[in-house]
Amino acid sequence: MEFSTRYFLLAVFYMICLVGFTVNMIMVAANLMKWKNLRSLPTYNKILSSLASSRALDFLTFIINNSINVFFPWLLKNNVVMLTLNMEIMFVFCSSLWLATLLCVFYCVKIVTYNYKLFIFLKTRISTMVPWLILSSLLISLISSLIYAWYSYDLKLQNLSNGSTGNMAGYELVAVPNYNNKFLLFSLGSIPPFLILCVSISLLIHFLLIHTRRMRSNESHTQSPNLKSHFGALKSMSLFLVLQIMYVIFLITYNSHTFLYVKHSAQISSLIPCSLQLLHSLYMISSSSEVKKMFPSALCFSR
């Protein structure tokens, strides 16, 4: 029974990852089609393409990591392979989180009209700053992943022989997980962008709530397209906030190894974050009329 449950969860996981990878690559293809037709790409689409590429890589990394765990576990005995996999997982997670944060900050700055110097400065400069912010996000993610891979494991000597010999040839260095360091470093890498994301979405939701209340108080604008678009943005940002909170909290909890002794923890720990990422990717496609219009062409382009 446990065997069948394990492989059922694994099959569901692969299906979610393949759908998530395809959906995000279609979003990238749709933006490439737009860039090909217009010879330029709006700033919002640049961030969206970067986020979709990062998420596609995230799904691919999950597939590779789980395939090695299930089908090639002997590879994990190699310290270089294990540390590389951990570094890659941390890099795609951090880059995806930072790019999602950048998308929310951009959306917030462009919509919110608070009369503060910081908002005014960002509103006039953020479009030119975006390429540098994307590169900075990738650089910060790389540094975080290197630190995570290097300090999350302790190298210890392991005796390879059954008998006790004084010969050092009977020993090898083995990377042993340091759970306290893993939890601390993962938290330090994820909490800064997560807090920025929460603040920017909260400011945006607060502004949209106030604005929609004002518009609804005016009876002549009750059915206006602006009101509908504001409600759509409010719903979109609220969903994004809830999914990101669930996503980050789950992964931080998992790195604290709370689920270490839970049945099928390896499958569940991959299934839940992938499902949350897929839900938001599907929602972004369904709520974007621009992407839906280019969807058939993007499918042909991605083949």
Of 63, 60, 140, the closest CA to residue 101 belongs to: 140
pTM: 0.84
| CATH code for residues 2-302 | 1.20.1070.10
Give the integer Cα–Cα distance in Å for 198 and 246: 12
Nearest CA-CA partner of 111 in 176, 206, 13, 247: 206
CA end-to-end distance (rounded Å), the chain = 39
Tell me which H or E stretch contains 226. Answer: helix 225-255
pLDDT per position as a tens digit, 40-68: 778 888 888 899 999 999 899 888 888 88
Token pair of 107 as six digits: 């959306």
Angle at 264 between CA 19 and CA 276, to 5 degrees: 35
Output the pLDDT for position 163.
47
Say how far apart CA 207 and CA 203 lie, in whole Å: 6
pLDDT band at 97 (very low <50, low <70, confident <90, very high): very high
Task: Name the β-bridge partners of 153.
Answer: 177
